[in-house]
Structure 1
Amino acid sequence: MPQTPTKYNNIQVALHWLVALLVVLMLFMGSVVLAQIPNTDPAKLTALRGHMVIAVVVFVLTLVRIVWRRASRQPDHAETGNALLDKLGIAAHFALNILVLLVAASGIGIALQAGLPTIVFGGTGTLPPDLSIYLPRLVHGVLTKLLIALIALHVAGALYHQFVLKDRLFRRVWFGRVVSK
C-alpha cells in the first residue's frame, strides 16, 4: 500500500505558486490598470492583449493543476482540530479552482461577444465604448470579487495554520523532497 506524502510534489508546488502569482497579476491588471484606461485610448488594446494572453495561460495551467492533482498522490488535508473549518478548507480549495475557471470563461464570453479577438489581436475594428453592456462582463465582475474574497480567506487560513496552529503548513506547499509517512 502506497504511503501518504507529507507535502505536495514539486510540480504541484510550482503550479500552485505560478497560478497564484498570475491570478493576483490578472486581478490587479483588471481592477486597477484596465479599469482606469478609457476604451478610446490605444494603450487599452495593449493592456487587453496582455490580460487576455495571461488569462489563457491561467486557464490552461489551472486545468493542468486539476489533472495533475488527480493523477498524483496527495498529502492528507491539513486539519485545524475543528471539523467545520476542515470541511470549509476542503471546499475553499475546490472553489478556488472553479472560480478561476469561471472567471476565465466569463472573460472568454466578454471577448467573444465584443469581438475582442479580432480587435485586440487582428487590429481590425475598435473597442466598444463600454464592455459592461455584455452580460458576461457583469458575471466577470461579480466572480472576480468572489475570487478576491476567497483568496483573502485562503491566505488567512494558511497564516492561521502556520502561525497560530504552528503546523508548518507552508512546508507542504514549498519545494523540496517529498517524504511519505
Structure 2
Amino acid sequence: MPRRYPPALVVLHWLAAFLVLGSLLGGTFNMAEVPYTDPGKVATLRMHMIVGGLILLVMLMRLVVRARKAVPAAVPGPGWQVAAARAVHLGLYAVTIGMAVSGVALALASGLPGMVFGGAPLPESFDLFAPRAVHGALASVLFVLVIVHVLAAFWHAGVKGDGILSRMWFGR
C-alpha cells in the first residue's frame, strides 16, 4: 500500500480544489450580485459554465485514475472518524458531480447555451427553473463539505501531527 497518492491524483485533487472553490465563490458572490440586466452577466455565466464543465471533466478523471491506481490506506483512528472521513470524501465526489449535472440541467432547461454563446436574452431569473433549486442546495452542501474537509486536514496537521497533508502532495 503506498504512503502517498499517485502524482496524477495529486494534480487532479488540487486542480479540482482550485476550480471548485473559484466556482463556488464566483457563483455565490459574483453571479448573485450581478443583475440579469447587466451585460456583464452573460460573460460571468459563460465563465461559470466553462469552469463547471472543467470541474465535471476533472472529477470524472479523478474517478478513473483512482479506480486504476493504488492509494494510501485510511488513516487509523476511531471508527467514527474513519467513517466520517469516508463519508465526507464520498460526499465531495457525489455533490461536486451533482452540482455539475444540475448545472447542465439548468443550462438546458433555460436555454442558457443560446444566451451565453448565441446572444439570446437572459430570463428575468433562473429561479424559474427547477434545476436551479437543486444547484443552489448542492452548493450549500458542497460549501459545508469543503469546510469540514479543510478543517479536518488542518486538525490532522496541527493537532495530530500525523503528516496526512503530505499524502496529497508530491514526494517520496
- Shorter-chain TM-score tier: over 0.9
- The 5 A counterparts of 1:121-160 are 121-123=117-119, 125-160=120-155
Q: Please, which of 39, 42, 55 is the counterpart of residue 39 of structure 2?
A: 42
Identity among equivalent pairs (%): 37
Question: So what's the TM-score if we normalise by structure 2?
Answer: 0.98
Partner SS state of residue 74, structure 2: coil
Amino acid at match of 1:117: P
1:71 and 2:68 equivalent? Answer: yes
Taking the aligned partners of 2:67 and 2:84, their CA distance within structure 1 comes to 20
Aligned to 2:78: 82
CA distance in 2, matches of 1:8, 1:19: 15
Name the CA distance, whole Å, in 1 between partners of 2:157 and 2:67: 26
Q: Any unmatched runs of 5+ in structure 1?
A: none
**Counterpart Cα distance in 2 of 1:73 and 1:140:** 33
One-letter amino acid of the counterpart of residue 48, structure 1: L
Q: CA RMSD in A?
A: 0.8
Question: 1:129 and 1:175 mapped to 2: Cα distance?
Answer: 47
SS in 1 for 2:35: coil
Aligned equivalent of 2:168: 173
Matches within 5 A, 1:92-107: 92-107=88-103
How far has the Cα of 1:156 moved from its partner? 1.0
Distance in 2 (CA, whole Å) between partners of 1:122 and 1:72 is 42
Does the residue aligned with 1:76 lie in a helix, a strand or coil? Answer: coil
* 2:29 aligns with one of 6, 26, 32: 32
Higher relative contact order (CA 8 A, sep 6+): 1
Offset of residue 176 of structure 1: 1.7
TM-score (norm 1): 0.93
Structure 1 segments (4+ residues) deviating >6 Å? none
- List alignment gaps of at least 5 residues for structure 2: none
Amino acid at match of 1:55: G
